Structure 1
Amino acid sequence: MALMRWVAGVVGGVLVAGVMVGCDTPPPPDPAPGPTWAGSAPRSAAPPQAQPPAQEACPEGGVQLREGAGDAAMGLRVADVQLVNCGTQPYVLDGYPEIRLLDKKRNPVEAAVVHGSDGITASLTGVDGAPQRVELMPGQAAAVAMVWRNLVTDATVPAAEAWVLDVTPRPGAPRVELELGRSVDLGNTGKLGIGPWTAAAR
């Protein structure tokens, strides 16, 4: 009996000690934080806003060229080029521009640029009007009509084709270039007829 009481006392003491030790056990440590990057935005930050496209700069002369409408029938070509006043001051035109034709590599294309449609066509094409003074306020445009024939009469002469217009809008003004989406395909006629500047239709 004494032995049983001694065993029971030992077991009870061990249980009490175990409970006391369990009470003194510290809680498990918090999980380590994830990696952080200095200067980085939170994951929930909104993506940066796209910047609007930059507007085309206005050239030194204060005007820009644009390719206008075109028409082709039975080898006769009619097209126009528009000049826009992108500056801040009025721009005055009087008469005809000076136009040079260039190929894709910007080499000169041999062709005569004449006023009117004489020798090209007898049809009304808009290039035979009388020169007049045109004053463009900022944002306004003028147009010049062009006419030519895509005709090959001599297979031994290379056909001429221009993809760039080098234009002096008025005497003394800086030249302005225009890359064309539709070529001036002269064949081997060697002649381009142009009209005077006119106010562009609004």
Structure 2
Amino acid sequence: MLLPRLLFPMLFAASACTTAPPTPTPTTCPTGAEYAVTGEEAASGLRVLTLELTNCGAEPLRLHGYPSVTVLDGDREPLTIAVGRGSFGISAVAAFDAEPEPVTVPPGGSAVTGLLWRNTYTDTSAPPAVGEHLELAVATGQPTQVFTPIAPRGGGPITIDLGSTGKLGVRPWTAAP
């Protein structure tokens, strides 16, 4: 009687050790990438948001250039704004104006990009442009996914508060630090 009671826990422990880790599925990793906010800065109306992409697919992800970014309002409708490469004339920020370099992101690895804008409101004839979500793709023409920016370390939602400027700059992909 003692042997069967000991055998079950031993078999259970042995089977737990040989179970393969779960592999990403189309529902848990629909585009092969997961996004997170890893930094945010705001000074004198200039805003910078650092985004990290994690390759949740099974194959290396090759990036070169800039992600595709569309800013969405609270109803997930696109805002009518200009999105440009680099600092886009918003401010001189060297990291945004660096030449894009190829980046290979292995499964589980990461790369970073950033968004740059000014929260300036000088045109009172229209409401300020405020984004609550981002539609992101690793590059133009690639599959997109909607991402809601949340402050790191348990913070709340982050808004893309463009004021009346209507301009957003995008940093090229770089390897994660």
| TM-score (structure 1 length as normaliser) | 0.68
Counterpart of 1:129 (choices 75, 84, 98) is: 98
1:1-202 alignment runs, 5 A limit: 58-122=28-92, 124=93, 126-180=95-149, 181-201=157-177
The whole-number CA distance in structure 2 between the counterparts of 1:171 and 1:78 is 21
CA contact (8 A) 1:94 1:134 kept: yes
Is the Cα contact below 8 Å between 1:58 and 1:64 reproduced in 2? no
Deviation at 1:170, TM superposition (A): 2.3
- Asked if the contact 2:83/2:169 (under 8 Å) is kept, the reply is yes
Across the aligned residues of Structure 1 and Structure 2, the Cα RMSD in angstroms comes to 1.9
Could you tell me how far apart the structure 2 residues matched to 1:174 and 1:184 are?
22
Q: Which runs of 5+ in 2 are unaligned?
A: 1-21, 150-156
Counterpart AA for 2:114: A
Stretch of structure 1 that moved more, 131-140 or 166-175: 166-175
Segments of 5+ residues of structure 1 without an aligned counterpart are 1-53
**One-letter code aligned to 1:133:** P
Alignment partner of 2:47: what SS? Answer: strand
The number of aligned residues is: 147
Note the C-alpha offset of 1:125.
5.4
Q: Report the TM-score, using the length of structure 2 for normalisation.
A: 0.77
Question: Rg bigger for which structure?
Answer: 1
Q: Higher RCO, 1 or 2 (CA under 8 Å, sep at least 6)?
A: 2
Q: Return the alpha-carbon distance in structure 1 between the equivalents of residues 94 and 23 of structure 2.
A: 34
Question: Percent identity over the alignment?
Answer: 38
